[in-house]
Structure 1
């Protein structure tokens, strides 16, 4: 690959409950980053505590598995204030998550905070829609959107 545009050793994907969008983005990024040879650690979490310790939503696990992504081992966790010290890039799934991240991190700097789809250059949409209260097709659409976003992310990280 060409010269790296942005030095990133770790990425944290953040959504609301860490059972749908952010674990999906993590799994898609993990697989595609490994395939491209970019050595970047990825993880995910949620701004809320409702699902801490739970697996990803069964509908998301099924949609991800159908597309070749593994979510079975995922366990939800909540965003912590010290995450800003451990991740080079923290990507929110939507603008509400981004606002919550800024509140949780307070005035701490040093980490890039951004919307996943904006930063990846994959917008529109800017916000990654939450499929949780939607029909099953929303989960399949989420997989396609995560793949598009990760393609943009890898392009931004790896091309020069």
Structure 2
């Protein structure tokens, strides 16, 4: 798989209410602005919040930067995701390991860490979970996601 052939992207964190829905909203906005027609979704490795809207703190920070969270609700990764998405981006090492464990081996190449596409934050190996922290954590997560989203888009557009 070359990154320029990507037509669909799945963002994955633990509960699918903070990091991955933020990545979903950011990447949807940025890819539309770039004129790309991509299938974009998000999911969690656990079903703790099935059907819930994104965390209000994530939405507040994202909306303050112009991102729209409409149509995004928590769901768990399902087996068909490994077939139906060209690239699956985990927010941290734990999510990455959970995805590799659940994924058929012939689709392992699709699973990557979100931070692999970081540019300004290349020193960050993971997008940290802001759930138990304060507002600054949600701002930092969005900074990381915006940076990695730009990096991924640059690769897709090549």
Find the partner of 1:87 among 82, 85, 88.
85
Tell me, in whole angstroms, the C-alpha distance in 1 between the residues paired with 2:98 and 2:112. 12
Residue number in structure 2 paired with 1:155: 154
Cα distance, 1:81 vs. partner?
1.5
Cα distance, 1:40 vs. partner?
1.4
Q: CA RMSD in A?
A: 1.6
Instruction: State the secondary structure of the residue aligned to 1:6.
Output: helix
C-alpha contact 1:26 1:44 (8 A) present in aligned 2: yes
Structure 1 stretches of 4+ with a deviation exceeding 3 A read none
Cα distance, 1:106 vs. partner?
3.6
Residue number in structure 1 paired with 2:73: 75
Aligned residues: 155
Residue number in structure 1 paired with 2:21: 23
Residue number in structure 2 paired with 1:36: 34
- 1:15-53 CA distances to partner (integer Å, 9 max, x unpaired)? 000000000001100011011112211100000010111
Tell me, in whole angstroms, the C-alpha distance in 2 between the residues paired with 1:121 and 1:140. 16
TM-score by length of 1: 0.91
Residue number in structure 1 paired with 2:102: 104
TM-score by length of 2: 0.92
Tell me, in whole angstroms, the C-alpha distance in 1 between the residues paired with 2:3 and 2:129. 30
Tell me, in whole angstroms, the C-alpha distance in 2 between the residues paired with 1:5 and 1:66. 30
Residue number in structure 2 paired with 1:128: 127
Cα distance, 1:72 vs. partner?
4.3
Instruction: State the secondary structure of the residue aligned to 1:114.
Output: strand
C-alpha contact 2:13 2:92 (8 A) present in aligned 1: yes
- Structure 1, unmatched stretches of 5+, are none
Tell me, in whole angstroms, the C-alpha distance in 2 between the residues paired with 1:158 and 1:72. 26
- Structure 2, unmatched stretches of 5+, are none
